[in-house]
Structure 1
Amino acid sequence: MNVLRSLQFKLLLGIFAVLAPLVAYLLYNNFYAIHVVREKVASSNGDLVDMFIQSKVDQVLEDTGKYLLTRAGSDPDVMSLNLFDYNDGEYQLRKVRIINRFRDDLVLYNTIDTFFVYARNARDLTVTEGSSERLAGFADWLDKNDRSANSRWTVFPNGSEYGLVTTVQASPDVILGAWIDLGSLLEPFRQLNLGGGGEVTIVDAQGRPLTATTLTEEGLEYIRPRLAQLDSDYLLLDEPSGKRLAVGTKSRLSDIRVLVLVPEQNLLSRLPFFLRAAWIIPIGAALVLSLYVLLLKRVLFTPLRDLIRGMRRIIQGDLNFRLAEDRSRELSFLASTYNSMADQIKQLRIGIYEQELLVKKAELKHLQVQINPHFYLNSLHIIYNLATLQLHKNVQKMSLYLADYFKFTIRTHRTHVTVGEELKHIRNYLEIQKMRYPDQLDYEIEIEEPWSGQPIPALSVQPFVENAIVHGMSMDGETFRVRIQAKEHPEDPERFVLTVSDNGPGFPPEYLEKLRSGRYAEEGEGDHIGIWNVIHRLNLYFGDRAKIEFANGPDGGDGDNGLNVGAQGAVVRLVLPLAGDISEGGDDHVQSAYRG
């Protein structure tokens, strides 16, 4: 289907649609001209055969018949021959006079081979030329057939030859007649210039050849049922030696038909162009079309294919592919435009990447400075209360923790911190909360040295610690414990795990399902902006290599966390990729393990 819609297919189809009718028209004209030549030659030869039949054959046959009738009615010897016996001298004398007159008149009828007289009572057959043995069996034929009336010229076989015989009954026992060898009837037709392979032959009413012919049995079988058609049309015989045109005319005084066979090659010998054009036109058209297709492929299809390939390379992200300049002005313009467009897209893409990096950096800084104003107000309120109670050392301690906390959060120029720096900041946060809830909060931070130098986005852990205190700690007198731990991933050596767990009531089932399904990442959820903030920054920084898992108690995979969480307690696991020790300088690393 794509091939049918291609420009190449449509152009070739258009060329074929224009060229095919022209070739068909030329071929039609060519074959029509050949047909006209056949018609004209057939008509010309048919007219010529008609003329020969009428003027040479039928005229001789008609004149001979009249001559025999005249002799039968006016010659006293013929009329009285039956009055004498065969052995009577008068019979022989009269017969000799009859034959001599026939011989004298034979000069006027040179087409006639012989005249004859037949005395039926004596079974005596006498001919003017040759011996009576030439017409052996003719006497029996005359006895068996009723010749009382003047008859047409009849075909009579004489051995391997055939002849035409006509008879006139002069008296009950005396018959006069004439014999014509069919071969002699063809003498006038041999004047026709039929060329090599052409011939003239005579057939009877059943299509049986009466003279020598080169017609094959298949040709005769084709002609026999179509003899009547030859009176107004021609036949085209397809023989092993080639095609021959057959025309013929029937004699009106006998049952013979003269066939003239003319080789088609001779017919078209005067039209060599039309004969060759029948083969040259389609071959030439195919050659021209092939050359034109090759030319189109070189000057149009190949540059278009390169252009399409370049477009596909751009779609795939390869902006380094360039087109070669073409000699054609239009295609050269397309190539230069494509190359210029590719350069502009490449520069634009680089600019977009740079802009996206700037936007991400700005977004990271913006997310990094998102803080909870309630924490600051509560911290200032604690300092105020401590100052009112004149607990000056606690005021100093609180002020230092708060100063370190502020120092960490307002460093917006840093896109990442180390795990050690993040946990030190969380320690300041937890110390501030402990001063707020001195007997109700405890915490534990465990970090091994290999993981303290791993870079992570700033404030990636604090929102989960803050959520644990806000949502997990109760005022019923039981100490709320928070544990933060960094360790290797049990299955993937290329990643490590940061775990935040507590001994509180854990996540409500519906809330846990929401967290696990990822709907917490909807920024519009106002209460969950901290979680969305962390997830968004982790995606910006690590892509899909980082993930967060939520669970309750042992379901988190930590078992007994040492804080006696029992079957409850919220567990948050941050699975992060290893990225090497990328500390940007700053505060000292957290100790390998310290307890608040």
Structure 2
Amino acid sequence: MNVLKSLQFKLILGIFAVLLPLVAYHFYNNIYAIHVVREKVASSNNDLVNMFIQSKVDQVLEDTGKYLLTRAGSDPDLISLNLYAFQDGEYQIRKVRIINRFRDDVVLYNAIDTFFVYAKSSKDLTVNNGNYERFGDLAAWLDGNGSRIGSRWTILRNGDDYGLVTAVQASPDIWIGAWIDLKQLLAPFQQLNLGGGGEVTIVNAEGDPLTATSLTDEGLSYLRPRLDKLENGYLLLDQKEGPMLAVGTKSKLSDIRVIVLVPEQNLLQKLPFFLRAAWIIPIGAALVLSLYVLLLRRVLFTPLRDLIRGMRRIIQGDLSFRLAEDNTRELSFLASTYNNMADQIKQLRIGIYEQELLVKQAELKHLQVQINPHFYLNSLHIIYNLATLKLYKNVQKMSLYLADYFKFTIRTSRTHVTVGEEVKHIQNYLEIQKLRYPDMLDYEIDIPEPWSGAPIPALSVQPFVENAIVHGMNMEGDRFVVRIHAQGLPGESDRFVITVGDNGKGFPQEQLDKLASGRYLEEADGSHIGIWNVIHRLGLTFGDRARIDFSNDENQGAIVRLTLPFDPEAAEGGKHHV
């Protein structure tokens, strides 16, 4: 049934058509207010960041660069330091005086982590704070980039820290410079009121973080290609703790960018009314809609659902369902009309069902007759062989057995026989085969009460016995034994099992696979009509209450298990026919 065309859908759609514009208008106002807050906060933070970058970062970098140029051109010790060898005492004295001046001047540049002097020929690096080992990467950078060092500050990783470095050539072999730890540059930004969860971080031109940050890999991947947008706007990043507003700008004297991250929930704390309304209005609309739908369900939808359920049960063949009378006049008329219609269909169905039973009985008799010529031809072939060998006494026995077979065939004009009658017929068949193979065939039959009186379709077991002899007996092996016995099914009193086993070759694995998958029925041909007929007739007679399992014995031979329904009353009445 198409839901879009249902009455329930159309009524609810009408309610939504009234309520949704109101809710949408509210959400629009709320979203617009949030957007305005974001714009204002982003603009304010951008102004603050630009101010801090210009006054606290770029100003320090510019002043430090000017200071280094002044020292390189005016300090006589720096100018003449390259005139002395590294081992010369005068070299060490001049270097100490240079470092002492740096130590005096570093007080004026509190953002500077260290000043340094580097003699390139002797690879002698001296820093004013005395921690030489910390700046091992700095010497390598000076050796590799001395000819390309300009006025801009360069991002350099030194150990586990990132910093900015610049250098000025004081003489052909002597360089002086300064190193600034990036964490030192973040100190002024702590004055910003970012609220709980806010942070400031520094990234390079590619967006890779140079200081500690809580940004996830997904957040960095979203940020990197959009860095230029931060110059005059903002970005909204999805984080585990919630969305964060990102603003920032870049330094004019280096390739660093300062990014300020503010949790969006901190921005919206000043909008309590909009936050409450964002929940109250949708919840109120949902409650109104729920009450209205409950009312409609009680008055209209429930009776209609019962009517539809009754129609579906009629389609499924269940004609016993009736609708209860309703207080509403229109629905009461529908209920009475449905009940009258169900009664008429039931009467018509009974007549059709009786005709189907007659057709089914005719089909069962036709399938049953298909097996008789198969066994009959085999029996005539055995009589012919016995007569050829002049075994006239055996011919007489064979004739008696065959006569009993014909008696059984005549009696099987009815749809069912007892297990005992079927077993008697099988004994006649086995005795006939023993006359053909006197030293090679034997059988064992054990059908105790009450299973011998159970009714089954005629010739339900005999085809499997015949199949065992035809396909399982080995002419050169031991005596071939067919075993037939019946027993109750454990845990089920209304079913029992007839087992047909032998000590022959057993089923080929390919045939077992076909039988287990059901392909055997689809591929059955004239050579296997007996087994096909049994499976088909049991299905017509008992449905899924009957089943046939095929397997091989662990030691040797094939096993066929017929699981059949058992009616104690029917079995009790069938004893008189055994």
Q: TM-score, normalised by structure 1?
A: 0.48
Higher helix share: 2
Q: TM-score, normalised by structure 2?
A: 0.50
